Amino acid sequence: MIPKDLPTYYRLHSKFYDLTRWTFLFGRYSLPKYFPNLESASRILDLGCGTGEHLDHLRKKYPDAEIIGLDLSTDMLCFVNREITKTIEIRNEYYTLDTFPEDEFDLILCSYSLSMMQNLEEVLESIIFHLKKNGMLLVVDFDSTPFSWFTKWMKKNHVHFDSNLFELLEKHFDVEYLITRNAWFGLYTYSTYLGSKK
């Protein structure tokens, strides 16, 4: 039985998340090579940071930045390296327009988190609100699949292939680059995207 709400889903999956997700969350581990250059003393949000895979990479790339990792799952955050939490703020809450002030971040990173958000348009509006002028959004996520059965299966696992994620990103942001690749012999595609606030 697949849990119908995300906190319960990740209460189960957090225990083996990092051991198994390499098999289908492609592009996740190579994302740091796409980190953009930022001004010193930048503010960065890792939205849906999960177990903190990217937090240490962000800390090393931007040593003088103020970095926040936010996730709705307490269970996932329990696996964040304790050393990281000494220098990076970790927040356990849902992300909404009211979570942060306007023009707060130079970079928002989303690694396989946007496709799990049902209210995607609202989330993107919040991201735009929270990004500074010329702020950057870096995303790696599921893109599309030609198979309706796979769309239905992934939806049961809280992944929404039918949200046209990257079309929406191109609508709301100026594209710096967009790289799309096939996974599992065309079962689905995933994309890495960098965009700037219009």
pLDDT digits (tens, 9 = 90+) for 146-171: 999 999 999 999 999 977 899 999 99
- What is the structure's pLDDT at 8? 72
User: Per the domain annotation, does 31 fall within a domain?
Assistant: no
Q: Which residues have CB under 8 Å from 73's CB, separation 6+?
A: 6, 7, 10, 11, 14, 50, 92
- What is the structure's pLDDT at 1? 61
User: Per the domain annotation, does 106 fall within a domain?
Assistant: yes
Q: How many domains does the chain have?
A: 1
Dist CA 115 CA 171 (whole Å): 16
- What is the structure's pLDDT at 163? 79
Q: Which residues of the chain have pLDDT under 50?
A: none
Dist CA 55 CA 149 (whole Å): 34
Q: What is the pTM of this model?
A: 0.93
User: Per the domain annotation, does 110 fall within a domain?
Assistant: yes
User: Per the domain annotation, does 33 fall within a domain?
Assistant: no
In 3-state terms, what secondary structure has residue 168?
helix
- Say which CATH number the domain at 125 has: 3.40.50.150
User: Per the domain annotation, does 29 fall within a domain?
Assistant: no
Domain containing 80: what range?
6-18+40-197
- What is the structure's pLDDT at 25? 86
User: Per the domain annotation, does 23 fall within a domain?
Assistant: no
